Structure 1
Amino acid sequence: MAYILAAIAGVLNMLQSGSNATLNERLGAGSVVPALVVYLVGILGVLAAAPFIGRPADGLLRHAGTVPWWGWIGGLLGAFYVVVTLTQAKAMGAGPFTAVTLTAAIVTSLVLDHFGLLGFEVHPASALRLLGGALMVAGVVLVARF
């Protein structure tokens, strides 16, 4: 089930890029409003899903001190991604944009796994994993250039 949900998230991530870029185009490029709309709708979506994804925030303050610094910046990292999709996805095209972002994610994931960074379990960068990363980079060149 986890792999199915991850695949759906990947599809939705690409759809989000087009949706965000269209929102930016229609509401006014260069404005902060499209990004605020993206997050407002996202907050409403999380609130609607809340009964299905876990318990309320009981004990939140009790556990806040145990969260490492990188646990607090996910929203900021997501905001950067949203701003980039708002401003760059349509200009680059869906294929190249997805190829570049996905390849960057794959290469980053190899580093995170190899060194066990940000709380991930250690999974050494084997020759086959590195070959897979290299093939992703080659794929980006093919998608972006042809």
Structure 2
Amino acid sequence: MKIIFPLLALLGGIAMAIQAQVNGGLGKKVGAIEGSFISFAVGTLALAFGVLFIGKGNVLAFTNVPKWQLIGGLLGALYVFIMVLVVPKVGVATAFVAVIAGQIIVGAIIDHYGLFGGTRIPIDGKKLIAILLLFVSLYLFNHK
């Protein structure tokens, strides 16, 4: 049963790659920030239906969480806007190599220091080599 979560993460990655190309095309037609807004509006509607019909939590409990935990939506909006802007210029693969590099580098820093309430997982030599190889990969994807 443990396999379900990595498979769901894989599905999330597939959805993000498709979303990047779809949103990039939308942004070329309506404008980058406008395309980002439309994408978030459609997503917000979908989530609103999910909350109404299958949600089990308590939306109003957001008043009891630390306020810094509410920036996720802003970070998501920034990500979508950047992808709408970048994908038409460099393509999905190059954009995702950069995104993945950013995620892994910052993820390693968050883990190393246990930021945002996470478990401390120190950066070791293998992780540093992997991060270096991410930059090599980004260079190779971008070099023509």
Which category of TM-score, normalised to the shorter sequence, fits these structures? 0.7 to 0.9
CA displacement at 1:58 relative to structure 2: 6.2
Structure 2 Cα separation of the partners of residues 86 and 58 of structure 1: 29
Aligned to 1:16: 19
Aligned to 2:140: 142
Matched-pair contact (CA < 8 Å) for 1:95–1:144: no
Unaligned runs of 5+ in 1: none
Q: Secondary structure at the match of 2:56?
A: coil
- Which residue identity does 1:128 align to in structure 2? K
Structure 2 Cα separation of the partners of residues 16 and 101 of structure 1: 14
Structure 2 Cα separation of the partners of residues 83 and 58 of structure 1: 26
TM-score normalised over the length of structure 2 = 0.85
Q: Which of the numbers 29, 32, 43 marks the counterpart of 2:31?
A: 29
CA displacement at 1:59 relative to structure 2: 5.8
Aligned to 1:81: 79
Moved more, 41-50 or 84-93: 41-50
Structure 1 Cα separation of the partners of residues 142 and 124 of structure 2: 27
Matched-pair contact (CA < 8 Å) for 1:113–1:123: yes
Structure 1 segments of 4+ aligned residues over 4 angstroms from their partners: none
Aligned to 1:124: 122
Matched-pair contact (CA < 8 Å) for 1:103–1:133: yes
Aligned to 2:58: 57
- Which residue identity does 2:50 align to in structure 1? A
How many residues align? The count is: 140
- Which residue identity does 2:85 align to in structure 1? T
Aligned to 1:109: 107
Aligned to 1:4: 7
- Aligned-residue sequence identity (percent) comes to 24
Change (3 A) 1:42 1:58: closer
Change (3 A) 1:48 1:59: closer
Unaligned runs of 5+ in 2: none
User: Aligned Cα RMSD in Å?
Assistant: 1.9
CA displacement at 1:117 relative to structure 2: 0.8
Matched-pair contact (CA < 8 Å) for 1:99–1:144: no
Matched-pair contact (CA < 8 Å) for 2:113–2:120: yes
Structure 1 Cα separation of the partners of residues 96 and 59 of structure 2: 38
